[in-house]
Amino acid sequence: MQMLLGACLDAGARIAHPGEFTRRAYLEGRLDLAQAEAVADLIDAASREAARSALRSLAGEFSTAVDTLSAQLTELRALTEAVLDFPQEEVDELHLEEARARLARVRASLDEVLAKSQRGSLLRSGIHVVFAGRPNVGKSSLLNKLAGEERAIVTPVAGTTRDALREAIQIDGVPIIVVDTAGLRESPDEVERIGVERAWREVARADIVLAVLEAHAEVGPDEHEMLARLPEEGVRILVYNKVDLAPGVPAGRRPSASNEVWVSAKTGAGLEDLRRMLLEASGWSGDGQSTFLARERHLRALALARRHLEEAALQLERWEFFAEELRLAHSALTEITGAFTPDDLLGEIFARFCIGK
Ligand SMILES: Nc1nc2c(ncn2[C@@H]2O[C@H](COP(=O)(O)OP(=O)(O)OP(=O)(O)O)[C@@H](O)[C@H]2O)c(=O)[nH]1
Ligand SMILES: [Mg+2]
């Protein structure tokens, strides 16, 4: 192969640049920029759902959503420009009302696209799920169960886990990173103390915290103190483990308690419910329709557009300012599909492709 390649190169051929073919398709107008990026995302997809989501973007679903937003904005801008063009006429209540109504609609649509994109971006990085709890409640056992292998050391000794241990798993094709941490308690042991500090750091950056308690034991002051220290924001699920030791307590979730579940790492009871809750808490509805595999670049552009629309809402009666905010929001959106994208950004995007794609 090397010799053949060498002969071709000697005869005047050259090696393709990374992403060159996709770039050409983009420059020829066959794909928009978001679709071109979806080619790379499909190649890199690490899970079934990420691949599906990338395929939908490649088919243009994300671009269509952005274009629809863009079209709504264009109409609103046309209305605004008309008002600006005829300043001598009194701007009547009617215009104002219409602008207000249209702006509200664009903002609602944008929020929806942004929410879908934020959910989808979790598919790229994996949803961070962190086990937290007092020593010996069974955090490591639960991680092993979810991972399907004996990854973490489990012993009856309180304070077994010291370091944070992360495991990439998939639930229904959705990538999830589960993190086991040291049991939370005051300890004279320096190694354990560092472990506990790390555990709190992991908790702080979690998308979902699984606060593990014991089903057969009282929730005492130590547990309450731990629960009170968990961050307010983010999702929290209370997991009552060792339900096998609590006679008469059924495993699984209760209709009355949406963020609590009773499980046993030993028997596996209730774990299916826990898996479902993780998917739900991550916003994964299961049909995959509710997400866009957005990139950081897209999220930033959407968030920027959103800020300008917020600002526009405050400027509603000062038409020049209103028009300017709309223009800025619009240009943020068009960067996503690449209608107006600076060359250096294109270079950066296509450089990350593999050669020959
Ligand atoms: N009966 C029963 N025992 C369990 C269950 N889950 C864990 N255990 C036992 O509880 C003990 C502690 O389990 P670990 O998984 O090491 O607990 P941990 O929370 O990781 O503990 P630290 O790492 O010390 O914070 C072990 O002896 C496990 O076998 C369960 O569901 N039922
Ligand atoms: Mg442990």
Q: What is the mean pLDDT of each run of 10 residues along the chain (357 residues)?
A: 94 91 92 93 87 90 94 89 72 82 96 90 86 97 95 95 94 92 94 96 94 95 93 90 96 91 97 94 69 89 97 91 94 86 71 73
Residue 185 confidence (pLDDT): 94
Cα(218) to ligand 2 centroid in Å equals 20
What CATH number is given for 125-281 in this structure? 3.40.50.300
Residue 93 confidence (pLDDT): 75
Contact 316, 350 (CB under 8 A): no
The candidate with the shortest Cα–Cα distance to 134, out of 274, 251, 229, is 229
Q: Decide whether any atom of ligand 1 lies within 6 Å of the 162 Cβ.
A: no
Residue 96 confidence (pLDDT): 85
Residue 118 confidence (pLDDT): 86
Q: How far apart are CA 90 and CA 315, in angstroms?
A: 18
Residue 311 confidence (pLDDT): 96
Cα(234) to ligand 2 centroid in Å equals 23
CB neighbour burial string for 212-231, b if at least 16 within 10 angstroms, e if fewer: bbbbeeeeeeebeebbeebe
Q: What is the pTM of this model?
A: 0.75
Q: How far apart are CA 91 and CA 107, in angstroms?
A: 23
- Which ranges in the chain belong to alpha helices (H)? 2-10, 20-27, 33-44, 48-58, 61-85, 93-125, 139-147, 190-204, 221-229, 271-281, 296-314, 319-337, 343-351
Cα(271) to ligand 2 centroid in Å equals 18
Burial of residue 12 (number of CB atoms within 10 Å: 0-12, 13-18, 19+): exposed
Name 177's bridge partners. 128, 168
Q: Decide whether any atom of ligand 1 lies within 6 Å of the 183 Cβ.
A: yes
89, 131, 152, 177, 212 from 140: Cα distances, Å: 72, 8, 6, 14, 10
Which atom of ligand 1 is found nearest the CA of 159?
24
Cα(192) to ligand 1 centroid in Å equals 17
Kindly report the protein residue whose alpha carbon is nearest to atom 8 of ligand 1: 138
Residue extents of the structural domains in the chain: 16-123+291-351, 125-281
Kindly report the protein residue whose alpha carbon is nearest to atom 27 of ligand 1: 156
**Superfamily of domain 16-123+291-351 in the CATH hierarchy:** tRNA modification GTPase MnmE domain 2 (1.20.120.430)
Which atom of ligand 1 is found nearest the CA of 263?
31
CB atoms within 10 A of CB 269: 16
Nearest ligand, CA of residue 182? 1
Query: Which tokens is 219 given?
Result: 């929730």
Residue 81 confidence (pLDDT): 82
Q: Tell me the pLDDT tens digit for each residue of 139-152.
A: 999 999 999 999 99
Residue 342 confidence (pLDDT): 65
Cα(150) to ligand 2 centroid in Å equals 12
Q: What is the DSSP letter of 316?
A: T
Which atom of ligand 1 is found nearest the CA of 264?
31
Which atom of ligand 1 is found nearest the CA of 157?
24
The candidate with the shortest Cα–Cα distance to 120, out of 37, 233, 29, 31, is 37
Query: Which tokens is 132 given?
Result: 């937290």
Q: Decide whether any atom of ligand 1 lies within 6 Å of the 158 Cβ.
A: yes
Q: How far apart are CA 182 and CA 133, in angstroms?
A: 8
φ and ψ at residue 80, rounded to 5 degrees: -65, -45
